Amino acid sequence: EVQLVQSGAEVKKPGESLRISCKGSGYSFTSYWISWVRQMPGKGLEWMGRIDPSDSYTNYSPSFQGHVTISADKSISTAYLQWSSLKASDTAMYYCARHEAVAGTNWFDPWGQGTLVTVSS
């Protein structure tokens, strides 16, 4: 079974750093891209960026460029989303999702179960 399993919920203070993870199983991790998607409380879905785990090439949405870093360790089939300095406005559910590494096939399936990040002083 193809699965993405994310790390657990986090509670952080403003200014702290954080890295959350997404581990793939049941498929060749380097044959698909991984994207990260934000969902703020009660809101819709926003694409943040993606990584090609085979070479760690990344693309970011302009809305998130410079505020988050996406990385991957193909040896352990895991992608990461990290912040160097969290803000209260980063409070949200974060999902990872797999998609094909071919243009024109970039729908997301499957999705991880989500990681809730709460940033509060």
Partner 1 sequence: AIRITQSPSSLSASTGDRVTITCRASQGISSYLAWYQQKPGKAPKLLIYAASTLQSGVPSRFSGSGSGTDFTLTISCLQSEDFATYYCQQYYSYPPTFGPGTKVDIK
Out of 20, 24, 34, 35, which residue is the one contacting partner 1 (CB under 8 A)?
A: 35
Nearer to partner 1, 53 or 112 (CB): 112
Q: Where are the alpha helices (DSSP H) in 12-115?
A: none
C-alpha to C-alpha distance for 113 and 5, rounded to whole angstroms? 7
Q: List Cα–Cα distances, 105 to 39, 42, 64, 78, 98, in angstroms.
A: 22, 28, 23, 22, 11
Sites for partner 1 among residues 80-109 (CB under 8 A): 95, 97, 99, 104-109
Count the alpha carbons within 13 Å of 24 in the hemisphere toward its beta carbon: 26
Q: Single out the residue of 7, 58, 61, 71 in contact with partner 1 (rule: CB under 8 A).
A: 61
Q: Toward partner 1, which CB reaches closer, 8 or 104?
A: 104
Could you list the residues that contact partner 1 (CB under 8 A)? 35, 44-47, 59, 61-62, 95, 97, 99, 104-114
